[in-house]
């Protein structure tokens, strides 16, 4: 069963310093001014932060699931995923790793500490 916007919202909203915004009819999650997760207008595709040097391998490994962003967004650390192809554990990992790219190491460490003790989602 494909993941839902509600699942995405629940995961992202639980991450420290995250805020949700509706920009040009698109749901976006960010830390301060850095967007780390965005949904397409029709909510079938999720764009997320991902290391530039690893994204080609990700897309090549699972082209039915992942795709590169449009040409204008290639300069960013960004990949797209088809929501219908994702399952919740993978979704959680993608969102958390994208969030990690935007927050200070001390915030990551606190999140990891709470997660290890069962306090984080």
* Arithmetic mean of pLDDT, 74-95: 93
pLDDT of residue 88: 92
State pTM to two decimals: 0.90
**pLDDT classification of 79: cutoffs 50, 70, 90:** very high
Q: What are φ and ψ of residue 77, in 5° steps?
A: -80, 85
pLDDT of 51 > 80? The answer is yes
pLDDT of residue 66: 97
pLDDT of 17 > 80? The answer is yes
Q: What are φ and ψ of residue 23, in 5° steps?
A: -125, 120
Rg (C-alpha) for the chain, rounded Å, is 14
* Arithmetic mean of pLDDT, 3-10: 95
* Arithmetic mean of pLDDT, 99-114: 92
pLDDT of 75 > 70? The answer is yes
**pLDDT classification of 121: cutoffs 50, 70, 90:** low
Does domain 5-107 fall under CATH 3.90.1150.30? My reply is: yes
Contacts 24+ apart (CB under 8 A), 31-34: 31/99, 31/102, 31/103, 32/102, 34/102
What count of other Cβ atoms lies within 10 Å of the Cβ of residue 22? 8
Contact in structure between 29 and 45 (CB atoms under 8 Å): no
């Amino acid at each position: 069963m494909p993941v839902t916007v509600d699942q995405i919202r629940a995961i992202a909203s639980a991450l420290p310093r995250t805020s949700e915004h509706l920009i040009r009819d698109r749901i976006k999650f960010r830390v301060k001014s850095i967007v780390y997760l965005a949904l397409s207008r029709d909510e079938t595709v999720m764009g997320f932060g991902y290391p530039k040097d690893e994204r080609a391998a990700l897309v090549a490994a699972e082209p039915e699931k992942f795709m590169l962003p449009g040409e204008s967004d290639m300069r960013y650390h960004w990949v797209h995923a088809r929501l219908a192809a994702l399952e919740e554990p993978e979704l959680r990992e993608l969102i958390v790793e994208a969030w990690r790219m935007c927050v200070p190491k001390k915030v990551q460490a606190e999140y990891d500490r709470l997660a290890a003790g069962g306090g984080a989602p």
